[in-house]
């Protein structure tokens, strides 16, 4: 049996500190600079008799400046004197490679490993992951192909690394292509990590049946992570029956029994599906088997109870959590807030939020959002807006959904000017308007006379922020301009709508032909119908044809009457 003395297994912290201090004094800079290669490493020779792999690894890990670590590593590669015949082990190369890659020194790390002939499949896997972490998928794939050349295709670590990178980047088609390549070539035998990564990627994209196929066809035994990934995939889909089947298979295999993650995943799945009784049974089974619930477990149950309006029971569960030595967090109290709102105890929810702050908790965006939405339901936009400002004062960026809830109640209350002002203040309050923000206000203003200039400004602002006009908004604009008596602009938006193949609503079409016929523009009314049918999708042509015919009949009757009907009289007849 090999034995190591204590100095090798546990390097003296003061020795590591002394070497670090000396490196800081020498202060080597970039490895490409002349000063790096010309700098004398002689001062380090005093430590040569104490060199061992663990000391080297600890010194490397202790460096905040990667060039200091590299300078020390290069010296230790060939120390003088070398009474213990020291040489770098695989783990020393791992330590320096990890440090260099963590500082994005890819070429430096690559050059070091190539010169030392240490560029193996395992090491290349680290490069692939590092490039992936930086979002450089192209370089990650390039390094994968390099691994295939180095190892003649037998590069399992690199395969697993590239699969992991592509899964994190949601590049599922590439993931499947690489996985199919492994299977087709047959050079590399997939291991449990390969299968688990593949399953995770498919589950992440909602392709649960494909994930199940990979799971069923595994040529090796799944491990805890594989089982938990598959169970989580089914739970996310709400397929608790399939999740339970995988759970049973996990129980039967004996090698990997369900752990806290397994049970918590199931409990969360049942709670989100509203199957609280099943969640509680799962919780009892978990405790009976000696598996300790954690904060996430309790939070899942508290959320489920609150979703059912069982707030008192949720509070008792929170007490139980505390008695078991676990501390409730913001997520716990956010569920309580939601529960109070569900059962209509809005004032109590507001009080609970204030208590969270007084207890030193920092409510997050979601917690504030629950109360903001509740105030909006109570039609109290003033208090909701003050909460949005309070969030900003606490360095929290309110969610766009919170702003949209306020916009809805403001326009319902007829407070259009306040809505527009708040919309313009959003960027300063840490949030950008989305399409719904603009649409809520623009479509409401279109229903008010004399507001179309303000609408034009908002539409222009919306387009500049990258949001396009949809079918609903086009119809609102058409009705708004006709309501303001601006027929040219209304018709301009009509033709723009059909040009972009948006649907003209029955209501908008009715207004258009009514206005045109009232002004005696019968030919134009007919052209509107023909152009609309020719250039865009019309689902119910007969309804539009009927509306046109009604207006044409009214116009004909007016023409044959004792006197021509005015615009208002024609409109009244059309509504009778």
Give the pLDDT confidence of 520-536 residue by residue, as tens digits: 899 999 999 998 888 87
- Measured CA to CA, the distance from residue 481 to residue 460 in angstroms comes to 16
How far apart, in whole angstroms, are the C-alpha atoms of residue 174 and residue 193? 17
With cut-offs at 50, 70 and 90, classify the pLDDT of residue 570.
very low
pLDDT score recorded for residue 246: 96
pLDDT at 4 over 70: no
Mean pLDDT for 143-152 is 94
**Residue of 295, 241, 292 whose CA lies nearest to 270:** 241
Between CA 502 and CA 294 the distance in angstroms is 52
| pLDDT, tens only, 271-321 | 999 999 999 999 999 999 999 999 999 999 999 999 999 999 999 999 999
Residue 2 has pLDDT above 50, yes or no: no
The residue to which tokens 């007829």 are assigned = 414
How confident is residue 460, by pLDDT bands cut at 50, 70 and 90?
very high
**Neighbour tally for 500: CB within 10 Å:** 14
**Are 461 and 431 contacting, i.e. CB atoms less than 8 angstroms apart?**
no
User: Which of 29, 23, 26, 32 is CA-nearest to residue 59?
Assistant: 23
Task: Measure the CA–CA gap between 141 and 127, rounded to whole angstroms.
Answer: 10
What is residue 9's predicted lDDT score, i.e. its pLDDT? 62
pLDDT of residue 561: 62
Distances (CA, A) of 63 to 10, 12, 49, 58, 91: 18, 16, 21, 9, 16
Q: Which residues contact 397 (CB under 8 A, 6 or more apart)?
A: 365, 391, 429, 430, 431
How many residues comprise the chain? Answer: 576
On the question of pLDDT at 453 being above 70, the answer is yes
Is residue 32 over pLDDT 70?
no
Residue 294: asked if its preceding bond is cis (omega within 30°), the reply is no
pLDDT at 575 over 60: no
Residues whose CB falls within 8 Å of the CB of residue 399, separated by 6 or more in sequence, listed in order: 365, 366, 369, 431
Enter the DSSP assignment of 432.
-
pLDDT of residue 80: 87
Residue 360 pLDDT > 50, yes or no? Answer: yes
Q: Is the pLDDT of residue 105 over 60?
A: yes
Q: What is the pLDDT of residue 204?
A: 95
3-state secondary structure 448-462: CCCCHHHHHHHHHHH
Please check the confidence at residue 486 and state whether its pLDDT lies above 90.
yes
Q: Dmax of the chain from CA atoms?
A: 123
| Res. 81: pLDDT tops 80 | yes
Q: What is the mean pLDDT of the chain?
A: 91
Q: Is the pLDDT of residue 20 over 80?
A: yes
CB contact set of 332 (below 8 Å; sequence gap of 6+): 295, 298, 299, 302, 318, 321
**Banded pLDDT at 147 (limits 50, 70, 90):** very high
pLDDT reported for residue 12: 87
Residue 478 confidence (pLDDT) above 80:
yes
Question: pLDDT value at position 414?
Answer: 93
The backbone region for 85, taken as left when phi is positive above 0, alpha when psi lies in -120 to 50, beta otherwise, is left
Count of beta carbons in the 10 Å neighbourhood of residue 570: 22
Over residues 461-472, the pLDDT tens digits come to 999 999 999 999
Say how far apart CA 54 and CA 94 lie, in whole Å: 12
| Tokens, residue 382 | 């003033």
**Dihedral of the CA atoms 525, 527, 529, 531 (nearest 10)?**
-150
**Does the pLDDT of residue 565 top 90, yes or no?**
no
For residues 365-392, give the mean pLDDT.
92
* Residue carrying structure tokens 């395992």: 122
Closest alpha carbon to 93 in 83, 82, 84, 101: 101
Interacting residues of 19 by C-beta distance below 8 A, sequence separation 6+: 44, 47, 59, 72
pLDDT over 80 at 512, yes or no: yes
Angle formed at CA 129 by CA 128 and CA 134, multiple of 5 degrees: 100
The domain ranges of the chain are: 364-453, 469-576
Distance CA(368)–CA(398), nearest Å, equals 8
Please name which of 478, 461, 556, 467 lies closest in space to residue 517, comparing C-alpha atoms: 556
Residue pointed to by tokens 């010169």 = 115
Which token pair is 571? 């409109």
In the predicted structure, residue 567 carries a pLDDT above the cut 60: no
Query: Which tens digit of pLDDT belongs to each residue from 207-249?
Result: 999 999 999 999 999 999 999 999 999 999 999 999 999 999 9
Taking Cα atoms as reference points, which of 504, 527, 518 lies closest to residue 559? Answer: 518
pLDDT above 70 covers what percent of the chain? 94
**Please, what sign has the CA dihedral across residues 403, 409, 411, 417?**
negative
What is the reported pLDDT for 30?
64
What average pLDDT score do residues 25-36 get? Answer: 67
């Amino acid at each position: 049996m090999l034995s190591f003395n204590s100095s090798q297994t546990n390097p003296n912290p003061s020795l590591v500190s002394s070497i670090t201090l000396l490196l800081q004094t020498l202060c080597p800079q970039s490895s490409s600079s002349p000063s790096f290669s010309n700098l004398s490493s002689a001062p380090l020779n005093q430590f040569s008799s104490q060199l061992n792999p663990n000391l080297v690894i600890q010194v490397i890990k202790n460096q905040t400046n990667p060039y200091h670590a590299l300078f020390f590593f290069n010296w230790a590669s060939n120390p003088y004197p070398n009474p213990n015949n020291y040489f770098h082990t695989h783990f020393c190369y791992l330590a320096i490679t990890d440090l260099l890659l963590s500082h994005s020194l890819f070429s430096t790390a690559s050059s070091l490993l190539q010169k030392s002939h240490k560029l193996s499949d395992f090491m290349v896997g680290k490069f692939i992951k590092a490039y992936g972490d930086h979002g450089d998928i192209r370089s990650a794939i390039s390094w994968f192909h390099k691994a295939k050349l180095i190892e003649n295709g037998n590069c399992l670590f690199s395969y697993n690394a590239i699969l992991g990178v592509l899964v994190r980047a949601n590049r599922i088609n590439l993931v499947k292509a690489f996985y199919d390549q492994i299977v087709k070539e047959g050079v590399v035998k997939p291991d449990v990590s390969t299968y688990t990564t593949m399953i995770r990627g498919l589950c992440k994209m909602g392709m649960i049946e494909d994930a199940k196929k990979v799971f069923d066809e595994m040529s090796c035994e799944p491990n805890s992570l594989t089982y938990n990934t598959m169970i989580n995939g089914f739970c996310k889909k709400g397929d608790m029956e399939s999740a339970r089947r995988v759970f049973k298979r996990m129980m039967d295999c004996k090698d990997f029994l369900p752990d806290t993650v397994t049970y918590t995943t199931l409990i969360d799945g049942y709670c989100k599906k509203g199957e609280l009784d099943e969640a509680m049974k799962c919780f009892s089974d978990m405790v009976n088997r000696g598996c300790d619930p954690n904060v996430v477990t309790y939070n899942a149950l508290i959320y489920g109870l609150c979703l059912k309006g069982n707030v008192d029971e949720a509070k008792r569960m929170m007490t139980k959590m505390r008695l078991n030595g676990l501390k409730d967090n913001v997520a716990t109290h956010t569920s309580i807030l939601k529960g109070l709102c569900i059962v209509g105890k809005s004032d109590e929810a507001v009080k609970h939020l204030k208590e969270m702050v007084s207890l030193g908790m920092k409510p997050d965006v979601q917690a504030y959002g629950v109360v903001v939405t509740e105030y909006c339901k109570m039609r109290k936009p003033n208090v909701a807006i003050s909460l949005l400002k309070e969030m900003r004062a606490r360095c929290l960026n309110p969610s766009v959904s919170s702003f949209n809830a306020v916009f809805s109640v403001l326009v319902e209350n007829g407070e259009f000017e306040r809505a527009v002002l708040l919309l313009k203040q959003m960027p300063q309050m840490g949030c950008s308007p989305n399409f719904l923000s603009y649409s809520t206000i623009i479509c409401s203003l279109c229903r008010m006379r004399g507001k179309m200039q303000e609408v034009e400004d908002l539409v222009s602002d919306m387009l500049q922020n990258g949001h396009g006009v949809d079918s609903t908004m086009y119809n609102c604009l058409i009705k708004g301009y006709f309501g303001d008596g601006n027929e040219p602009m209304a018709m301009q938006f009509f033709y723009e709508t059909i040009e972009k193949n948006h649907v003209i609503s029955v209501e908008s079409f009715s207004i258009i032909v009514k206005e045109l016929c009232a002004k005696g523009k019968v030919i134009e009314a007919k052209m509107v119908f023909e152009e609309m049918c020719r250039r865009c999708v019309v689902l119910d042509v007969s309804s539009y044809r009927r509306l046109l015919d009604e207006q044409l009949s009214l116009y004909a009757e007016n023409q044959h009457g004792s006197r021509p009907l005015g615009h208002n009289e024609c409109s009244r007849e059309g509504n009778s």
